[in-house]
Amino acid sequence: MPRGSISEFMVHFDVDRIPGVLSREFEVARVIARSQGRGPIVAFRVEGCLQDSVSNIVDTRLKLYKAIDVSSDYEAYSKLFEAMSKQSKISIVGAPKLSIAERGLLSLPAVRFYEKEAGLYFSSAVFIACFDGVCNASIHRVLVKDENTGVVRIVPRHLWELYLRARSRGANLPVTVLIGVHPAILISAASSPRFGVFELEVASSLLGGLEAYESPIHKNPVPYGAAAVIEGWLTGEMLEEGPYLDVIGTYDRVRLQPVLRVESVYVNKDEYTHVILSGGLESSLLIGFLREVAIWESVSRVVPKVYKVRLTPASGGWLHAVISIDKRHEGDGKNAILAAFAAHPSLKHVVVVNSDIDPDDLGQVEWAIATRFQADKDLIIIRNVRGSTLDPSSKDGLTAKMGLDATKPINAGLEFERGRIPGLE
């Protein structure tokens, strides 16, 4: 049965091993940025760390689809939607051999990526919290202050709800934080199913089972193959967190956020920890893919067939979407636009194209806009609506949204066809 480790996944890909020891300050970021999207997983040792780390484990769709054992967009969207609807129980087994990390958080790959960031960050931390009979797994960035203290950015979703419940009773929220897990677990932790659905059970469904053990202090479920396990509490104490370069490539603002007080840090020295370059390809795929699933499901309700949904890397996999559809009636393109906005409220701009246009080729998308779009009849603008607070041009998240229907008319003639050379792929 799968143990949820990175090493299980790495056997399917080439690995580029960087010699020597890398500085936490910018050197790790440079290595990741130069290697992303090129094919191999990159492995390296960060100064002061007990284990090797990896990055770019899901920086391409090929890797992401391998992580959940699918081979196409349709299979991927369908499998994840089904996994969120019907989870699979995890199997509790005995714990692996763990070592105590004497330097606490500083034994793990906390890294400073960009020059104006506040300090060293964990970028792939999966928080496991169980409270009031509800378990949740979600990804959060952590600003490392010292070996026993971090500051955690928590948006008002499910972990925040559990935190508020604990604080309302005067209690700190016990959390188990994982660094270095199989990418299917990361995908599940980023998926945001309805409150009460445990994301580790979503991962178990994706993987065809998952072995886990009880964490040493809090007895929270931990995938057997997790590389590092942090036991601590989210406290009522607040400290400044940020600036941090977020998915869209701009610095997120400074906020007061909850303090993580660490009791102990454990490592499985046979496994790899994981570093994600904020604002990089891996970051945008992990955050965007789950929203693509939501858009695909929503748009599929209003048009005959959805071929591809792409949240573009340049928008951080978050603000811009391109959707290719079968168009059977005039107005299908506009219905698809509205369905996309409903499925992903942070979406700012969306382009809908026919199935002969590949959303992965932005040159083809631009061609469709140039030849099939008229602004006076094919443009939708929605003013003064809630969007993403990550967009610096918005005002506290209040924004304008734009949809472009770049589909050709029903029964369009030859003048709307793209030229094709037979045999030229």
331: left (phi over 0), alpha (psi -120 to 50) or beta: left
For 295, other C-beta atoms within 10 Å of its C-beta total 26
Phi, psi angle pair for 297, to nearest 5°: -65, -40
C-alpha–C-alpha distance, residues 382 and 377, integer Å: 14
Contact (Cβ atoms closer than 8 angstroms) between residue 152 and residue 145: no
DSSP code of 397? Answer: T
CA-nearest of 231, 246, 130, 102 to 179 is 231
Catalytic residues: 246
CA-nearest of 133, 134, 112 to 123 is 112
Q: Could you tell me which residues come within 8 angstroms of residue 267 by beta carbon, excluding any fewer than 6 positions away?
A: 50, 51, 98, 99, 101, 107, 108, 227, 228, 229
CA-nearest of 301, 198, 298, 223 to 5 is 223
Helix (H) or strand (E) holding 41: strand 41-46
Tokens of 183: 């990418």
Contact (Cβ atoms closer than 8 angstroms) between residue 163 and residue 234: yes
Q: Could you tell me which residues come within 8 angstroms of residue 280 by beta carbon, excluding any fewer than 6 positions away?
A: 32, 33, 36, 59
Measuring CA to CA, how many Å separate 319 from each of 37, 258, 364, 405? 21, 27, 20, 17
